[in-house]
Amino acid sequence: MQINRLFEIVHILLNKKMTTAKELAHRFEVSVRTIYRDIDILSSAGIPVYAIQGKGGGISLLDDYVLNKSVLSEDEQNEILFALQSLGLAQNPETDRVLSKLSSLFNKNKTSWIEVDLSPWGSNKHKTSEFTILKNAILNHQIIEFTYFNSSGARSTRRVEPLKLIFKVNAWYLQGFCLGKNEYRTFKSSRMSNIDITQDFFTDRTLEEPLTDHKDEDSQKWIDMRLQIAPQGAYRVFDEFKEKEITRNQDGSYTVTTSLPESKWLFHYLLSFGTDIEILAPQNIREIIQGKLEEMVRKHKKLK
């Protein structure tokens, strides 16, 4: 990529008094003419690079040139480095190389003060690899194919033009144009498997409406609920519900008024609280939970 080549040219010139266009062309496997175009771009960007013709000549920077003082402020340097460190969640070797080069250019030795990793604790490298696959497919405008399980557990094979990755409410989502459904859809990444980048390319479509407001693969009915959670469940109350939904009772328990999606997931979620939860409303959900608990008791009774 040209931007990476430009950064590396400046990096070389900062660490080497002079080089030649031929040497740079050989290093980057491009033509000498391309190198001279790069030099023109750097010059127009305010970087004092110049070429000396003839024997003993070459390409160099003005003496005592320091990139960080001439182009970017201290805060801007830190913002750029932080952004690159944030991209570390994709474990892309290219990101590490650019971070290393810019750290050297900015004379910043300490770049490990923060680590951004949005994957769940205990997740393996396979999920990170899937993130990189999706990112590359979006940037290269390549159609992807994958297996998808919706919230009801229905399995389907999808062929999609990927457009955007979104991190929302502790989960990654892919937004794109589903060729099978012939419309824009949103897919939860944890329900995607066997992701494959095809050799078919696509051009961006014109969105008739904001994609974030379009149909979601997991769109469904939401249920207004009122829950009572015991004091020992406080850690989950404040992790999983909004503050405005929570009321602390005199006995130390919590009443939560919220909306949750109507699906099989809902019952698994409520049961995950064990004896710390009581469903106060609606009555039909309370009765369904009661029925499931009775079924669990029957299955776990000892055989006589």
pTM of the shown model: 0.45
Beta bridge partners of 223: 260
Worst-scoring range by mean pLDDT, 23-37, 42-56, 177-191, 243-257?
42-56
- The top-scoring range by mean pLDDT among 36-45, 108-117, 120-129 is 36-45
- Other CB atoms closer than 10 Å to residue 104's CB: what's the count? 14
pLDDT at position 214:
43
CATH 2.30.30 residue ranges in the chain?
125-213
Identity at 200, one-letter amino acid code? D
pLDDT band at 40 (very low <50, low <70, confident <90, very high): confident
Is the pLDDT score of 145 beyond 80? Answer: yes
What CATH number belongs to 222-300? 3.30.70
Mean pLDDT of 52-69: 68
> 42 with 73: CB under 8 angstroms?
no
For 116-125, 167-176, 237-246, which range has the lowest pLDDT when averaged over its residues? 116-125
Q: How far apart are CA 110 and CA 91, in angstroms?
A: 19
Q: Strands of 155-168's sheet, edge to edge?
A: 183-188, 171-178, 155-168, 142-149, 192-201
Under a CB-based contact definition with an 8 Å cutoff, are residues 96 and 87 in contact?
no
Which CATH architecture is the domain 125-213 placed in?
A: Roll (2.30)
What's the rounded Cα separation, in Å, for the pair 154 and 115?
A: 37
What b/e sequence results for 125-143 when a residue is b if at least 16 CB atoms lie within 10 Å of its CB, and e otherwise? Answer: eeebebbebbeebbeeebb
Q: Who wins on pLDDT, 88 or 224?
A: 224
CATH 3.30.70 domain residues, the chain? 222-300
Better-predicted residue by pLDDT, 153 or 109: 153
Percent of the chain with pLDDT over 90: 25
Listed in order, the ranges of the chain carrying CATH 1.10.10.10 are: 2-65
Say which CATH class 2-65 falls into: mainly alpha
